[in-house]
Amino acid sequence: MELEESFDAESSFDDVSCLSPQSPGSTSPARRQNKEKEIKETKITINCVTFPVSASALEQQLLKPNEWSYCDYFWADKRDPQGATVSGFEVLLQKQLKGKQMQKEMAEFIRERIKIEEEYAKNLSKLSMFPMAAQEEGTLGEAWAQLKKSLADEAEVHLKFSSKLQSEVEKPLLTFKGDNFKKDMKKYDHHIADLRKQLVSRYAAVEKARKALADRQKDLEVKTQQLEIKLSNKTEEDIKKARRKSTQAGDDLMRCVDLYNQAQSKWFEEMVTTSLELERLEVERVETIQQLLRQYTTLRHETDMFNQSTLEPVDQLLQSVDPAKDRELWVKEHKTGDLRPVDMDI
């Protein structure tokens, strides 16, 4: 914010005492200084937001103890790596935007997995049709043919897996928090930013009123001292006039402080409400992605199970492979004669 630099911690700390002004004329300078010192020790204003310090901070309870809730830990501003001021609410918004980006990248990852499955299925199907070792005979030939067929069955399993990945994992990842997400984030951002700007404006009014009060009080003290030592011909009426102006300045400051507190209270309430909503959205995001990734693992286990089932017929035929049987079948089909040679007679 443009006004933040002029309202840093040091300059604000020095003037916080004026947030509770005493009635001008009723408090001596010494007592007023003691009161200001007491207030300084319990309040500090940073970037136009007033915080407790010292023992007062220790007495402040968390809104949602032991929950690490957003509404408890993002009230102050911070500096980003480039040195720019970032509000706590902006940090929460950045978390939401980052979560949306992570969700998008997860969907892209699943899309790549789908492509691999589709390509794998295509290659398996193509390989199953290769005529390699097609002339193998007997029980071994049957097992070999079934193994080739299992590749086509496995290819179908992987195609179904890729299709389910697309409909049950990738698509939900892409559509969760759809087109309205960025619009909603901008709405939250503008709403809180407007309240913060109003708070800055109210704080500027407080500072202006504080300076006016200090000027009036100084004028009153000077005139009073001049009258006491008779260095001026100012009358009692002049003193009363100066006292009325000082009192009016004090009233103006109190009114400005009241308006500031109202603005800060409104900002506080909306910060709590909105940060809890962002917290709810983050919980929803994490739980939704958790559910979708569980669906991925479920589909993966199913794929393994179906792949295993394609191998069961192969296993059964392999157990039935019998070299003797194969030899019998081959001999019967290809024999050339069972008469053996004998010795030649003279």
- In a domain? residue 186: yes
Average pLDDT over residues 212-224: 89
Is the pLDDT reported for residue 167 higher than 90?
A: yes
pTM across the whole model: 0.77
Which residue in 327, 296, 273 sits closest to 110, CA to CA? Answer: 296
Find where tokens 């007592």 sit: 31
- pLDDT number for residue 2: 37
Q: What is the pLDDT of residues 252-262, one digit of tens each?
A: 999 999 999 99
Average pLDDT over residues 185-197: 96
Q: Is the pLDDT score of 3 beyond 60?
A: no
Alpha-carbon distance of 25 to 30, in angstroms, equals 12
Within-domain flag for 137: yes
What is the number of domains present in the chain? 1
pLDDT recorded at residue 22: 37
CA distance 72 to 69: 6
Q: Name the pLDDT band for 19 (thresholds 50, 70, 90).
A: very low
| pLDDT for the residue numbered 225 | 78
pLDDT tens column, 80-104: 899 999 999 999 999 999 999 999 9
- Predicted confidence at residue 55, as pLDDT, reads 67
Question: Between the CA atoms of 176, 178, 183 and 187, what dihedral angle is there, to the nearest 10 degrees?
Answer: -30
Residue 52: pLDDT above 50?
A: yes
The CA-atom distances, in angstroms, between 293 and each of 57, 92, 110, 113, 296 are 43, 25, 10, 13, 5
Residue 140 scores a pLDDT above 70: yes
pLDDT reading at 302 higher than 60: yes
107: in domain = yes
Task: Establish if 14 belongs to a structural domain.
Answer: no
Q: Which of 21, 6, 3, 10 is nearest to 210 (CA)?
A: 21
In three-state form (DSSP H/G/I as H, E/B as E, the rest C), the secondary structure along the chain is CCCHHHHCHHHHHHHHHHHCCCCCCCCCHHHHHHHHHHHHCCEEEECCEEEECCHHHHHCCCCCCCCCCHHHHCCCCEECCCCCEECHHHHHHHHHHHHHHHHHHHHHHHHHHHHHHHHHHHHHHHHHCCCCCCCCCHHHHHHHHHHHHHHHHHHHHHHHHHHHHHHHHHHHHHHCCCCHHHHHHHHHHHHHHHHHHHHHHHHHHHHHHHHHHHHHHHHHHHHHHHHHCCCCCCCHHHHHHHHHHHHHHHHHHHHHHHHHHHHHHHHHHHHHHHHHHHHHHHHHHHHHHHHHHHHHHHHHHHHHHHHHHHHHHHHHHHHCCCHHHHHHHHHHHHCCCCCCCCCCCC
19 part of a folded domain: no
Residue 128: domain span: 91-319
**1-15, 238-252, 284-298, range with greatest mean pLDDT:** 284-298
Phi/psi of residue 45, each to 5°? -110, 120
CATH of the domain at 248: 1.20.1270.60
* b/e map 4-34, b = 16+ CB within 10 Å: eeebeeeebeebbbbbebeebbeeeeeebee
Residue 196 lies in a domain: yes
Q: What is the largest CA-CA distance in the chain?
A: 174
pLDDT of residue 10 exceeding 60, the answer is: no
Say what percent of the chain tops pLDDT 70.
Answer: 85
User: CA neighbours within 13 Å on the CB side: how many for 255?
Assistant: 9
Judge whether residue 6 has pLDDT over 80: no
Mean pLDDT over all residues of the chain? 86
What's the pLDDT at 92?
Answer: 97
Residue 201: band (very low, low, confident or very high) from pLDDT cuts 50, 70, 90: very high
pLDDT of residue 20 exceeding 50:
no
**Statement: residue 8 has pLDDT above 50:** no
Lowest mean pLDDT segment, chosen from 32-46, 65-79, 258-272: 32-46
Residue 310 lies in a domain: yes
pLDDT, one tens digit per residue, over 107-119 is: 999 999 999 999 9
- Which tops the pLDDT comparison, 35 or 189? 189
In this structure, is residue 23 part of a structural domain?
no
- Would you give the distance in Å from CA 326 to the centre of its chain? 67
Ramachandran area for residue 306 (φ above 0: left; ψ -120 to 50: alpha; else beta): alpha
At residue 178, the pLDDT reads 75
